[in-house]
A and B are shown apart, each in its own frame.
Chain A
Amino acid sequence: MLKVKKLLLLLFAVPLLLLVACNNEDETSAPEMDKEAMENFNETGYPIVDEPITINFMTRKPPTTADDYNDVLVWKTYEEKTNIKIDWGLVPSEGFEEKSNLSLAGGDYPEAFYTAKFSDVDIMKYGEQGVFLELNELIDKYMPNVKQLFSEHPEIKKALTNADGKIYSLPTVYSPDFTSMTSNIKPWIRQDWLDQLNMEMPQTTEEFYQYLKAVKETDLNGNGKADEIPYGNNSVAGLIGWLKGAYGIGNKGRKQGFVDLDPKTNKLRFYWTTDRWKEMLEYINKLYSEGLINKTIFTMETNEYHETGSQGLYGSTVTTSPETRFGRDEYVGMPQLEGPHGDKDWVYVTAPVVHKAAFVITDKNKNPAATARWIDYFYGDEGAKLFFMGVEGETYEETDNGELEYVDMLTDNPDGLTFEQALRPYITWLGGGYPALVQSDYFKGAENSPASIEATKKIEPDIIEETWPSFPFTVEENQRLAALKADIEKYVIEMQDKFIAGEEPFSEWDKYVETVEKMGLEEYMEIQQAGYERFKES
């Protein structure tokens, strides 16, 4: 009997000991810049390193980009310039969260993450643990472009700084004066249908309702069928983002999805339980129940949305650009609507730092300084030009008045490829989330098309002055907040859809507010307040 016990003990103890041993090994591998690496490294000028080195990444790969980034013109060019070869470690976007989370939890993570879009919670968590390197010193020493960006736009530095006062990540950042980009999702309407109906451009929520109704009741495309969809989309988010400004809520921009500043009391408020929010939902519910919004809005996939859009059936929609998405040019931008209480603010605008963590360097990185210089390039003019436009003569040309233009081979491909398909072998920015500075001069995507610029002009006068980035929270606050968010935010979003779809009658509103309060709204707001104050003071 004893022997069996001993045997069992041994069986369980051996693997445990092995695991402990493995564990200890991990702890000793602290980051350090060894001498050899520093000798190879040039603080200024190119190449960045004398002897070629390889850095391994994990990269979120959008479906629109090439299958091997090392074959892409931009990266081949940059590798020659820097002597740094990148092992990209491409992971398809849909599986990226899962894969990156698991690699971080398992300790088997790469030297850097590219196009990562880590959440604030992750940045803070892995930053404090030392997995993500603190970048303040690296920025100061080796990243002149980022440094300059910080001094020109202190709000960008503020947005990147965490609760502990440190920076762990580099962002996707839109130049604040590039408004067509910071408000990239805009309302669109069919001008030809407005003309046919003899209607003026809707200026208020009521006029918009009248237009939708008229579209529903008139056979505008003249095919004898009532197949026109007055407002069509594959999510209610766009419509809500736009209408919030007409009801005076969400007044600090898109990055703060749940709290804003109460204009009466000048205090932080949770606007999803306000009367204005209710009024807005009632308005959308009216549209939905009268069939002015497609019934499939909650279940539709993106490609389905594009497909219906390309048939020209939508009377209006909220998207980046119907021109590039549906290939239709009948749509023109709409202004910010005025609500029943006279509110007229364009609040669907993002803070310049769109993704706080598009790029992070981990403690496994053997050449942090070289990596820092490598990435810094894309926050400057020269790098942005290479990243977005490619190589002069091959992918773009400079016109006489100094504007950059893609060559005809890309815009009007002889093999009949679309612009995005033609771009694939040359650049990788399609799909977004990249660590770089997006400026109007070098970014020639859908947001910079003449129609988008035109549409932006319509909303520009009403754009709110101040947009908040996400607030910096400590690890403890994040932990508590995660639990509260899992209940509160999940619940209010679910109820929003239910109120709109009419599954929950508005007579249940008080019960809804009560439930949110019971879920711990008070504590939720206390934490938000702490983050808000930290943000204000930083």
Chain B
Amino acid sequence: MKSNGEQLNIPYSKNRKFYRAKKNLFLNWQLYVFLLPALTYFFIIHYIPMYGVQIAFKDFIATKGILGSPWTGFDHFERFFNSYYFWRLLKNTLAINFYQLLLFPLPIIFALMLNELRNGAFKKWSQTLTYAPHFISVVVLVGMLVAFLDPLTGLVNNAIVALGGESVPFLTSPEWFRHIYVWSGEWQALGWGTIIYLAALAGVNPELHEAAKVDGATRMQRILRINLPSILPTVVILFILDIGKFMSIGFEKVLLMQNSLNSETSDIIQTFVYETGLLEGQYSFAAAIGLFDSIINIILLVIVNQIARKTSENSLW
């Protein structure tokens, strides 16, 4: 549509863009009405509650309410930064998340492999089998871990002992915690994670493959030169989305797997917030820690998004 703006006399050029937007809004108002419910939802559910974040800078007293509680400035943040556990919490939170991020390529590789399968029945079976663990709840999963990894009666340790090894107290060893946490999570998420990549792979133009075949490209070459580049935009977006929830994953599972012997590596910011905030009722302190957590996350998200935009032209914004 050719804009009518050019025919009108507009006094200030900086107002021009705004004017055009207004015009647009007027002409397509029905479309904006459709958008309204979603906007209202986000405003009410996600933005209004944000005013509560201010208790991170206050000494929250229930009877005085959020607005009536006295300001304390950065006291709660200082307390957290000065806490003996600050560095440990930060280190553990980052370590677990980076570890998890390292496994990001696994579903991609798995999807590329599945895509190459010719046998329909076998392909369907493999997919179903790998999806299935996704539906196991966290509580049950941790129960399974406890049962399988028990130093005396667990399947894994019995196998180790039968092979002449020595029983390993997996769940009470700090050095094992991250591996168990991340890999059991990957076992659950792998199949599910392939779904989107498989969908993207289904959209690859078959003519490209035919042309490559004619040119004598091997299968490996076709995967690397055709399939992978075709799904790369999807990969980048999913990676950014993953970063978006970087600091907030798996809190329940960590809490369930935690005990005093592995807390050296299992103590993370979220479990600390839960302990101090919900169990001990120190809301302001917990809110401050939670806010700190979110800020780290936003910084990471912006950085990754910038990098993605510079290098691959794909980004969230």
Residues of A at under 8 Å CB distance from B? 1, 11, 15-16, 19-20, 23, 26-27, 97-98, 101-102, 104-107, 119, 121-122, 125-126, 129-131, 294-296, 298-299, 482-483, 486-487, 490-491, 493-494, 497-498, 501, 503, 515, 518-519
Contact = CB atoms under 8 A, between A and B. Distances in A.
A477 B260 CA distance: 27
The 6 A-B pairs with the shortest beta carbon distances in the complex, nearest first, are A23-B65, A497-B260, A487-B84, A101-B281, A129-B63, A105-B62
A337 to B, nearest CB: 25
10 contacts: A102-B278, A119-B280, A126-B62, A294-B152, A296-B150, A298-B172, A299-B259, A494-B260, A494-B264, A498-B261
Given A23-B68, A125-B281, A130-B63, 4 more contacts: A97-B278, A105-B281, A299-B146, A491-B84
Given A107-B62, A482-B282, A487-B85, A501 B261 contact: yes
Interface in B203-231: none
A16 B282 CA distance: 24
Q: Is the interface of B mostly helix, strand, loop or mixed?
A: helix
A208 B282 CA distance: 44
Given A486-B276, A519-B84, A20 B281 contact: no
Which of B43, B65, B67, B263 has the most chain A CB within a 10 Å cutoff?
B65
Given A19-B51, A23-B68, A498-B261, A482 B63 contact: no
Contacts of B264: 494
A450 B261 CA distance: 38
Given A295-B151, A295-B152, A501-B261, A105 B79 contact: no
Which of B79, B172, B276, B281 has the most chain A CB within a 10 Å cutoff?
B281
Nearest to A491: B84
B150 A497 contact: no
A483 B259 CA distance: 21
B36 to A, nearest CB: 13
Contact of A1 (B15, B173, B283): B15
Nearest to A131: B63
Interface in B165-197: 169, 171-174
A503 B281 contact: no
Interface string B131-157: 000000000000000100011100000
Contacts of A490: 85
Contact of A98 (B65, B279, B282): B279
B65 A107 contact: yes
B172 A299 contact: yes
Contacts of A503: 173-174, 261
Contacts of B281: 101, 104-105, 121-122, 125
Contact of B263 (A11, A483, A494): A494
A98 B278 contact: yes
A487 B283 CA distance: 18
Contacts of A19: 51, 66-67
A11 B39 CA distance: 13
A23 B146 CA distance: 47
Given A19-B66, A23-B67, A130-B63, A299 B171 contact: yes
B238 interface: no
A27 B63 CA distance: 8
Contacts of B173: 503
Contacts of B174: 503
Contacts of B68: 23, 27
A105 B283 contact: yes
B18 A1 contact: yes
A98 B274 CA distance: 9
Interface in B275-292: 276, 278-283
A493 B260 contact: yes
A491 B61 CA distance: 28
B172 A20 contact: no
B65 to A, nearest CB: 4
Contacts of B259: 298-299
A491 B263 CA distance: 10
B12 to A, nearest CB: 10
B60 interface: yes
Contacts of B276: 486
B163 interface: no
Contacts of A15: 48, 51
Contacts of B60: 105
A497 B172 CA distance: 10
A148 B20 CA distance: 83
A292 B280 CA distance: 36
Contact of A501 (B79, B85, B172, B283): B172
Contact of B65 (A26, A483, A493): A26
Nearest to A22: B65
B165 to A, nearest CB: 16
Contacts of A483: 79, 83
Nearest to B61: A129
Contacts of A16: 51
Nearest to B15: A1
A210 B62 CA distance: 56
Contacts of A20: 67
Given A20-B67, A129-B63, A295-B169, A482 B280 contact: yes
Nearest to B173: A503
A298 B257 CA distance: 12
Given A101-B281, A121-B280, A519-B84, A131 B62 contact: yes
Contacts of B171: 299
Interface in B49-66: 51, 60-63, 65-66
Contacts of B263: 494
Contacts of B61: 129
B261 A298 contact: yes
Nearest to B277: A101
Nearest to A129: B63
Which of B150, B276, B280, B283 has the most chain A CB within a 10 Å cutoff?
B280
A129 B62 contact: yes
A296 B170 CA distance: 11
A129 B283 CA distance: 16
Contacts of B278: 97-98, 101-102
A498 B278 CA distance: 27
A503 B150 CA distance: 18
Contact of A107 (B63, B79, B83, B280): B63
B60 to A, nearest CB: 7
Which of A20, A105, A295 has the most chain B CB within a 10 Å cutoff?
A105
A486 B62 contact: no
A329 to B, nearest CB: 26
A298 B62 contact: no
Nearest to A130: B63
Contacts of B43: 11
B56 to A, nearest CB: 14
A132 to B, nearest CB: 11
Nearest to B62: A105
Contacts of A125: 281
Contacts of A299: 146, 171-172, 259
A131 B276 CA distance: 21
A26 to B, nearest CB: 6
A494 B263 CA distance: 8
Contacts of A298: 172, 259-261
